[in-house]
Amino acid sequence: MKSVLNSAAALRFAALSAGIAAATFGVSLAEPNSASKDTSATAQQHARALDTIRSGEARKFRVELDGYVPPTSWLPQILGGRAVIEARVTPESYSIDSRVRAAGILDWFVDYSSTLNSRGRITSNGVTPVFYQALDDEGRKNRQTRITHEDDRVDVTVTPPHGNLGDPPATMEQKLEAMDPMSALMALSMNPDATIENPCQGVMRIFDGKGRYNLHLSLNQHLDKMDAPGWKGPAFVCNVRYEELAGYKKKTPEEIAAQKRDLKWVNIVLADLGPGEPRVPIKIEARSGKRGKITLVARNFSIETIDVDRAEIDDLSALKGG
């Protein structure tokens, strides 16, 4: 029983750390390479997705994920959760939403679901978050987190509040330089540091309402063909290095060293849709010495061009709370 609960915690940790939530099964597969066929002539003129979008185009993508966790570090993986992530990006704004719940045998023991929503603006520097909300339902324990970004401050409301904010807690400066987990997912897809050959560059600075951490990206390899249920086209494999900064329990140097040793590696796989198109995460894998391997993989993935004028009206209304 304890090992199953630990697996659920591991799944949630890996999901939120990457700004993407755990998932599993459900909807029928779209044609795996349908997304790559919807690229525009404008996109082919740009190396970065950010340039394509800011030139006057808009995209919408949907990813359905299967989440697998090991009941113990030495047993095979089992189905752990289901998630759907839907995002829309226009020349001026973006929205990204995720619905997550436990599934499979974990659902017998863990009553968990989560809804994450993020809204923000697109600028020449990439993604600028405006508002984030997370609704976590853990059976008898429910929590709502709201983060609002202003020019000179970040307002955070957590209900019920955390018992403590970590040692040390995140400073205002650390909050201002960061973005929420879902905005980080959008930022990864629209990475301003990306090149045609390497989208796995830069540092993702993330604040989730309590924890402040960085994800350092580097290129592992490019695959000519990804063998995943929801995507069988080319893909980039990114290495990720996780770095805690604030908002966590104070650790001794020995505990910090042990944590680094335990997290063997983390990879994020991005669908390669061609120059000028978003690089959407379709697989995440993390290997822990204590928890084993955790895998999040796309079962279904689609991306399409959408009407800019209609999308702008809808997104700006959402940013204003309408």
Give me 152's structure tokens.
């000179």
- pLDDT, mean over the chain: 81
Question: Are the C-beta atoms of 298 and 28 separated by less than 8 Å?
Answer: no
From first to last of its 322 residues, what are the pLDDT tens digits of the chain?
Answer: 334 334 344 444 444 434 433 322 222 223 333 344 444 555 555 779 999 999 999 999 999 988 887 766 666 677 678 788 999 999 999 999 998 876 555 544 455 678 999 999 999 999 999 999 999 877 667 899 999 999 899 999 999 999 999 999 999 999 999 999 999 999 999 999 888 899 999 999 999 999 999 999 999 999 999 988 899 999 999 999 989 999 999 999 998 888 888 888 899 999 999 999 999 999 998 888 877 888 889 999 999 999 887 666 565 556 555 4
**What whole-number distance in Å separates Cα of residue 180 and Cα of residue 148?**
10
Asked if residue 168 has a cis previous peptide bond (ω within 30° of 0), the answer is yes
**What whole-number distance in Å separates Cα of residue 167 and Cα of residue 147?**
20
Quote the pLDDT of residue 24.
26
> What is the domain partition of the chain in residue ranges?
2-319
Residue 216: burial class (beta carbons within 10 Å; 0-12, 13-18, 19+)? middle
One-letter amino acid identity for 66? D
pLDDT tens digits, 37-78: 444 555 555 779 999 999 999 999 999 988 887 766 666 677
Map the chain to HEC letters.
Answer: CHHHHHHHHHHHHHHHHCCCCCCCCCCCCCCCCCHHHHCCHHHHCCCCHHHHHHCCCCEEEEEEEEEEECCCCCCCCEEEEEEEEEEEECCCEEEEEEEEEECCCHHHHCCCEEEEEEEEEEECCEEEEEEEEEEEEECCEEEEEEEEECCCCEEEEEECCCCCCCCCCCCHHHHHCCECHHHHHHHHHCCCCCCCCCCCCCEEEEECCCCEEEEEEEEEEEECCCCECCECCCEEEEEEEEEEEECCCCCCHHHHHHHHHHEEEEEEEEECCCCCCCCCEEEEEEEECCCEEEEEEEEEEEEEECCHHHHHHHHHHHHCCC
One-letter amino acid identity for 32? P
Give me 135's structure tokens.
């609704």
Strand-pair partners of 45: none
Quote the pLDDT of residue 34.
39
**What whole-number distance in Å separates Cα of residue 163 and Cα of residue 153?**
23
**What whole-number distance in Å separates Cα of residue 146 and Cα of residue 33?**
37
One-letter amino acid identity for 279? R
Strand-pair partners of 121: 93, 128
The C-alpha angle 243, 248, 252, rounded to 5 degrees, equals: 80
Q: Which of 277, 320, 237 is nearest to 60 (CA)?
A: 277
